[in-house]
């Protein structure tokens, strides 16, 4: 069966961590990349959220307030919500795990290696979280990192002081 995805790299998280750097995966070989996060689980039962920051051509994580994002949060037992933020220090994937259920994400990154354009992204995910009752949450989002520079990788991390201990993060180049 033919596919438009070409495997680049996969990293498995098997012990407690708050961040994972996936470096040297974006090159001039592709204009579009796919990131797939599967089997994401937190340590213990407290939920946490995943975020993304890019790694620049010198190997430094871009932590400035240069990220904008918007997403539709689709909860199973409450009203949907439009979330928008500008000048943040990360892209908020809104991927939340309420252990032991796990969560998953697919994201597309557009023109990350181009030094003459912003890096755009789109994503969708599904997870289980709890604010009272346990519920399913889906998210569809878009984002941009607003500096015209070459990006060579990314960092997935959590900001809720709750580490994760299981995940598989795979990167693919999208052909044609």
Q: What is the pLDDT of residue 76?
A: 86
Q: What is the pLDDT of residue 114?
A: 97
Percent of the chain at pLDDT above 90?
57
Task: In whole angstroms, give the CA distance from residue 116 to residue 52.
Answer: 21
Answer with the residue of higher pLDDT: 162 or 5: 5
11, two tokens: 């990293």
67, two tokens: 């990220």
Per-residue pLDDT tens digits for 96-141: 666 556 678 899 999 999 999 999 999 998 887 777 777 788 899 9
Which of the 8 DSSP states describes residue 2? -
Task: In whole angstroms, give the CA distance from residue 101 to residue 36.
Answer: 17
Describe the strand order of the beta sheet including 91-97 as a list of residue ranges.
19-22, 151-158, 48-56, 91-97
Q: Does 47 score more than 90 pLDDT?
A: no
> Would the pTM count as exceeding 0.75?
yes
Per-residue pLDDT tens digits for 7-33: 999 999 877 777 899 999 999 999 999
Cβ-proximal residues to 87 (8 Å cutoff; 6+ apart), any chain: 65, 66, 67, 68
Which of the 8 DSSP states describes residue 15? S
């Amino acid at each position: 069966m033919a596919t438009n995805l070409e495997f680049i790299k996969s990293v498995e998280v098997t012990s407690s961590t708050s961040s994972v750097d996936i470096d040297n995966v974006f090159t001039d070989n592709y204009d579009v990349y796919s990131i797939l996060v599967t089997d994401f689980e937190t340590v213990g039962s407290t939920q946490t959220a995943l975020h993304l920051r890019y790694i620049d051509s010198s190997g430094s994580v871009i932590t400035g307030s240069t990220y904008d994002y918007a997403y539709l949060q689709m909860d199973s037992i409450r009203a949907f919500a439009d979330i928008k933020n500008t000048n943040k220090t990360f892209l908020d994937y809104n991927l939340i795990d309420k252990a032991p259920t796990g969560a998953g994400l697919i994201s597309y990154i557009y023109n990350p290696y181009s030094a003459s354009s912003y890096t755009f992204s789109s994503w969708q995910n599904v997870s289980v979280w709890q604010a009272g009752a346990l519920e399913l949450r889906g998210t569809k989002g878009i984002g941009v990192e607003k500096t015209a520079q070459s990006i060579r990788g990314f960092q997935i991390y959590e900001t809720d002081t709750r580490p994760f201990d299981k995940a598989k993060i795979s990167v693919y180049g999208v052909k044609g």
